Amino acid sequence: MEFSAQQIADFLNGEVVGNKNIKVNNFSKIEEGKHGTLTFLANPKYTHYIYETKADIVLVNRSFKPEHNVEATMIKVDDAYQAISQLFMLVEKFKPQKVGISAKSDIAASTTLGDDVFVGAFVTIGENCTIGNNVKIYPNTQIGDNVSIGEGSIIYANVSIYQHCVLGKNNIIHSGAVIGADGFGFAPDEQGHYSKIPQIGNVVLGDDVEIGANSTIDRATMGSTIVADGTKIDNLVQIAHNVEVGTHTAIAAQTGIAGSTKVGKRCVFGGQVGITGHATIADGTILGAQTGVSGSIKEPNKVWIGSPMLPVDTFRRSSVIIRKLPELAQKINTIERELQTLKDSNTIPSLK
């Protein structure tokens, strides 16, 4: 499908500067712009590319003032990044939608499917599940007994959802994610042999939750492991049993949160963060990548980094010095020697 600069500007409430009739049928990055494509300029670092891009249309912020000639047609919008995202969403909407129930799936008779549900080949859905309207379940996914999935959710391929878990509306669960496996709970006897503590709770995901590929959210020992509305979890993340994550929190890849920890609202965690069990993390906490959190964080909206974690300023100052520790140690040795010399020279006079 092709669209003209004018059609796109109309959709985005933007203003065309250049050829209103030029048409594009695809997107490109500004540094790799090609004829027939639309690109955007949002990050000022990339400004120099606009003078040489081969893309035919560039979305720019209304505030953008070119310093040289721009060959491409520009569409001025309030926020170029948001505008390109709007166009991406439009494209997604027009993609052919998966529909229908594959004859090659295996769905228990006691399960209820809503309207316009898609179930791919080799999907298994257990007993007494409730699958909401417009839910899409991609091939090879397994859903255990008594699971409930809210309307509009997308479950990609090869996902495993254990019995009794509850997913909200408009969730997106990426391939390989495991929702509701047993929490890691064992009681050691006197010889140090472990006996398993059955994990009889479940997982509850709120609305608008996204879970990344191959992430694992363990079921609670008792009660629920909870990920609240609007929270986004990246790939390969571990959420242990009885953890509760608040609303609108973002957790980057390979982070792990140990059992029973409560994470607040609007937190942002970088990749490979580790948080100990039974801790409470205040709302708005920001953790840099690889941060190690060994206890509760009580003050909201603070930035921490390092393992063990430090306030970000302290961490930066300490890191600079860690690099210079060998010099510092040497300096101390020199000082010690000189001090001794001084003491020696001073001692003699004092003996006089």
Residues 165-194 within binding reach of a second copy (CB under 8 A): 172, 174-176, 178, 181-182, 184, 186-187, 191-194
The answer to whether 241 is a known catalytic residue is yes
Tell me: does residue 141 bind a second copy (CB under 8 A).
yes
Tell me: does residue 303 bind a second copy (CB under 8 A).
no
Interface region with a second copy, contact rule CB under 8 A, candidates 14-22, 53-61, 63-71, 227-235 = 227-235
140: which 2 tokens? 């090879």
Tell me: does residue 300 bind a second copy (CB under 8 A).
no
Question: Which CB atom, from 99 or from 332, has the smaller least distance to a second copy?
Answer: 332
Tell me: does residue 292 bind a second copy (CB under 8 A).
yes
Instruction: Provide the minimum distance between the beta carbon of 41 and a second copy in the complex, in angstroms, as a whole number.
Output: 13
Instruction: Provide the minimum distance between the beta carbon of 69 and a second copy in the complex, in angstroms, as a whole number.
Output: 25
Tell me: does residue 256 bind a second copy (CB under 8 A).
yes
The binder of a second copy chosen from 234, 244, 269, 297 (CB under 8 A): 234
Question: Which CB atom, from 37 or from 73, has the smaller least distance to a second copy?
Answer: 37
Size of the site for a second copy (CB under 8 A): 108
Chain CA centroid to CA 167, Å: 18
Residues 81-140 within binding reach of a second copy (CB under 8 A): 81-82, 85, 88-89, 91-92, 102, 104, 106, 120-122, 124, 138-140
Residues 333-352 within binding reach of a second copy (CB under 8 A): 335-336, 338-339, 342-343, 345-346, 349-350
| Residues designated as active site | 241
